[in-house]
Structure 1
């Protein structure tokens, strides 16, 4: 495209014409001047920002042996200098150490192309611009196989592979060095982004990371699509980590991890996660610290998650608010939902959290078949339930369950059911014991809602289906729960007020429908439903009186 000097104005043109013409000669001079260009005009490069930079042209070998770090970095630097374009990793196996991604660069890994993380720990270095102090969510290291700092418009795309050779970073025995020579927070992530904008990662296979696979810190406008993460070669093989990120959209991803599959730490806002599958030994959606708000998670399948698929920990001064989970299918999981606090001192706030369309099969955990080491399990994982565990002064507010159907493993004993003193900070796995309910345990909650909820057990269970402890303002409609004639009761309410139960059904023979405990229990109403399979409707203990409950058939 031709360009013109702005200084060549109509007035300058007229002056030029005046000097160049003499009488009638102006007629001949004018056409030439109309097509004239200033001497300093340079023609723009039509390919600027669109070129392809094949790393083979920069000296890469791709033979699976030669270290190609410098060649890849040189191609990225050239692409960035030319205002962007695409760096191509063609077919081949390219061994690399730490490489820095830069603004306006698309890294394309061809279908038969692989970036193979070096097994030599000396080939990795820390991104010094990423701090490790000041924010407790940043203290997990700052080393990336591929990293970017304060960069814009970055894309990493497949359909090729990034293989971190994570097994080389696992110590053979505790205290012994790993084959790679580095461990702990010195290990590299697959992808590490810090304070970046407009980041896209799509259609790529991230295999066997040495640490967490994708770690994104204080970044915004992030799109993650069609990523397959597989990492079960080291104990804390996490999938995605988002730390204080905004406007993140994740879709069509598949994660098989050993540790947290999708963690949201710090202040994460405006996040959507949909149409994904997850499997892990520990947690899938892990929340902790900061302010997590305005987040939706939908249309996902969770398969073999032994730990706690949805784990929300309200740390000191933190807040979790306006978070929606919907249309989730969980098959072979433990947990499956835990909301509680991570600190007993000033734990923060959790409110307006909804669970809609949740269908789960809760089982006794087993060893993941493809993990390269064994895991031990806590008692609370073996006999698990939904736990909504607040504390005095820390009320979990406005938590709702709608269209929820869960079959639990069962196996709870009379001793398990007798537990009254649940630790304030029981933790998501309750390592010291078992929650005294097989379906839902809720303590220090306000505005709790259950609608069309069904709890069943696969094996005999002597714990109640539901336990409320110091809960206020609860509405339960359409609860269907299995009982056991040898169990104390189907429901247990302790020092609980202002509860309405409608259309409740007991699915199997039980001794008592509801046991009410504590002198503070009051204004509990049971309106309609079918509790005929319970031998006795109500029982009272620990100071509770009949005046606490109104029963209408």
Structure 2
């Protein structure tokens, strides 16, 4: 299936959304889908067509208008490609498995985002499990996200990648991306502990303000962050990156903006960690750390 050359404005719901529910009475994956050269947005209804691009919608934390895999995900998703798309005045890209299905082999490339109300990238493995009674947690693995630019991203959430205890997002690579956030996080925000929300409907806003402005990753196995730039427009008192319960993390050429005397990176229960060739951060490798910040 191919979705191409579409302009979809949807302030109150997702603009382009793939699903794989239990509607057929059995698990059947949504697979081999390409979404390319599309423009999605959450402007007021009718204002994309008339060219006024009105921005008054404040539905549950802001307009929707995004590209999303899920939330209905019982059958899973395989071989999905999203490329050459533009997000404007909307939520960010969402990849969600919360109903027991696998998400595998997802490629996202060449994405431009402007005026994003919350997480520009949201990857969520949860245990809502909307399916037969014996359904177990699903999986997310082999996800590649590259060449993404996002400007004017909301303050509360940066990139958010989260599994749940005992069920990790696996083998995720984020590379060649640049994010510019509105900033303005307070010093006390750095101490925030986002809730797990294991069985809740997944949505970035439900996690509240995150303790980092750029990237928060929790319950992940195999995380690669390469050639990433994280910036803010208004002074940020939060760290750029925090990793919680991450097994195997390689950070290379991570460029962050920070105020003097503030830490850039926070680690909690992290194993097999490496950062190298990142300006302002000494190269280091850690086999196992309960808590660290630098």
Larger radius of gyration: 1
Tell me the TM-score normalised to structure 2 length. 0.79
Equivalent runs, 1:216-295 vs 2, <5 Å: 248-258=1-11, 259-266=13-20, 267-280=29-42, 281-288=63-70, 289=73, 290-295=75-80
Structure 1 position 326, deviation (Å):
0.1
CA contact (8 A) 1:261 1:285 kept: yes
Quote the residue 2:133 is aligned against: none
Structure 1 position 502, deviation (Å):
1.0
Quote the residue 1:353 is aligned against: 143
> Take 2:77 and 2:253, find their aligned partners in 1: how far apart are those partners?
31
Equivalent runs, 1:65-104 vs 2, <5 Å: none
Equivalent runs, 1:87-486 vs 2, <5 Å: 248-258=1-11, 259-266=13-20, 267-280=29-42, 281-288=63-70, 289=73, 290-305=75-90, 308-334=91-117, 335-343=119-127, 346-364=136-154, 382-425=155-198, 427-431=202-206, 433-485=208-260
Quote the residue 1:54 is aligned against: none
CA contact (8 A) 1:440 1:465 kept: yes
**Which residue of 279, 282, 288 corresponds with 1:505?**
279
Segments of 5+ residues of structure 2 without an aligned counterpart are 21-28, 43-62, 130-135
Bigger helix share: 1
CA contact (8 A) 1:396 1:445 kept: yes
> Take 2:250 and 2:240, find their aligned partners in 1: how far apart are those partners?
16
CA contact (8 A) 2:82 2:108 kept: yes
> Take 1:458 and 1:343, find their aligned partners in 2: how far apart are those partners?
36
CA contact (8 A) 2:120 2:153 kept: no
Q: Which runs of 4+ in 1 moved over 4 A?
A: none
Structure 1 position 342, deviation (Å):
4.0
Corresponding residue SS for 1:461: coil
CA contact (8 A) 1:390 1:424 kept: no
Quote the residue 1:173 is aligned against: none
Structure 1 position 544, deviation (Å):
4.7
Quote the residue 2:46 is aligned against: none
Structure 1 position 423, deviation (Å):
2.4
Quote the residue 1:496 is aligned against: 270
Segments of 5+ residues of structure 1 without an aligned counterpart are 1-247, 365-381, 507-512, 515-520, 525-539
Change (3 A) 1:344 1:485: farther
> Take 2:206 and 2:194, find their aligned partners in 1: how far apart are those partners?
14
Greater length-normalized contact order (CA 8 Å, ≥ 6 residues apart): 2
Structure 1 position 420, deviation (Å):
3.0
User: Which digits, 9 at most, give the CA deviation of each residue in 1:459-482, with x for residues without a partner?
Assistant: 111111000001011111100001
CA contact (8 A) 1:422 1:435 kept: no
User: Which digits, 9 at most, give the CA deviation of each residue in 1:210-253, with x for residues without a partner?
Assistant: xxxxxxxxxxxxxxxxxxxxxxxxxxxxxxxxxxxxxx111111
> Take 1:325 and 1:544, find their aligned partners in 2: how far apart are those partners?
32
Structure 1 position 413, deviation (Å):
1.3
Quote the residue 2:287 is aligned against: 523
CA contact (8 A) 1:325 1:354 kept: yes
> Take 1:422 and 1:439, find their aligned partners in 2: how far apart are those partners?
18
> Take 1:304 and 1:362, find their aligned partners in 2: how far apart are those partners?
9
Bigger strand share: 2
RMSD, matched Cα? 2.5
